[in-house]
């Protein structure tokens, strides 16, 4: 596992590759963001963006979502994976937001994770994107990158990856690095045939360490 300094070097390098990285889901407010992130599980953001305009037109508020039925919600999202379960999640989520949170998206991880379909990753994404909190949602891309580039131990859990990256990053960089890592994972550090070695600056810190060890 790399030192904190080298870990930060790799993360800063990835940030430099994607200076304008940001969310790829389409949304207008924190409620729409929350719904979109719940829908994005095991589905591409591109696919989610195809179904959310119709969904948000039919169910523009938590109250509207609560008044709908899972079957009605399904008709708007049946082009994405796991739509049957996601429709049930959205109905329950809308009901909770309306009844327990006065139609407002809560601003704490604990409260968000009380909502149907919301785990730690989803909660962290919403806190970061909607409320500018220094949280990091670790997905499969970030997990793969962290292990491939030795930012964490090979057997690190998702929570350990989150804690490690948070520990080396300045809080103001967390939003940027989160979205840069996702782009890097989609385009360069892919599951098959990764192209990371085309970017030698990623490895310069490791090379310096090796030189020091042998010098």
Q: Judge whether 137 and 128 are in contact, CB under 8 Å.
A: yes
The answer to whether 121 is a known catalytic residue is yes
DSSP designation for 18: -
Q: Which residues contact 200 (CB under 8 A, 6 or more apart)?
A: none
Q: Judge whether 128 and 136 are in contact, CB under 8 Å.
A: yes
Q: Judge whether 122 and 22 are in contact, CB under 8 Å.
A: no
Determine which one of 45, 100, 139, 163 is catalytic.
139
**Residue 194: C-alpha distances to residues 14, 184, 187 (Å):** 14, 10, 9
The answer to whether 192 is a known catalytic residue is no
Q: Label residues 58-91 b or e (16+ Cβ within 10 Å = b).
A: ebeebeebbebeeeebbebbeebeebeebbbbbb
Active-site residue set: 121, 139
């Amino acid at each position: 596992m790399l030192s904190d300094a080298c870990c930060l070097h790799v993360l800063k390098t990835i940030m430099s590759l994607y200076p304008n990285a940001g969310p790829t889901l389409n949304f207008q407010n924190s409620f729409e963001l929350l719904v979109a992130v719940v829908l994005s599980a095991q589905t591409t953001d591109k696919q989610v963006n195809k179904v959310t305009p119709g969904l948000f037109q039919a169910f523009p508020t938590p109250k509207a979502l609560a008044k709908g039925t899972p079957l009605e919600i399904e008709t708007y999202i049946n082009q994405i994976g796991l739509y049957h379960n996601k429709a049930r999640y959205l109905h329950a989520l809308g009901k909770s937001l309306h009844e327990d949170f006065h139609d407002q998206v809560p601003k704490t991880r604990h409260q968000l994770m009380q909502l149907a379909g919301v785990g730690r990753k989803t909660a962290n994404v919403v806190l970061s994107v909607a409320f500018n909190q220094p949280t990091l949602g670790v997905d499969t891309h970030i997990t793969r990158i962290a292990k491939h580039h030795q930012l964490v131990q090979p057997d690190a859990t998702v929570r350990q990856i989150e804690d490690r990256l948070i520990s080396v990053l300045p809080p103001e960089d967390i939003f940027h690095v989160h979205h840069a890592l996702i782009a890097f994972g989609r385009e360069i550090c892919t599951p098959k045939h990764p192209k990371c070695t085309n970017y030698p600056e990623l490895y310069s810190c490791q090379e310096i360490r090796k030189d020091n060890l042998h010098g």
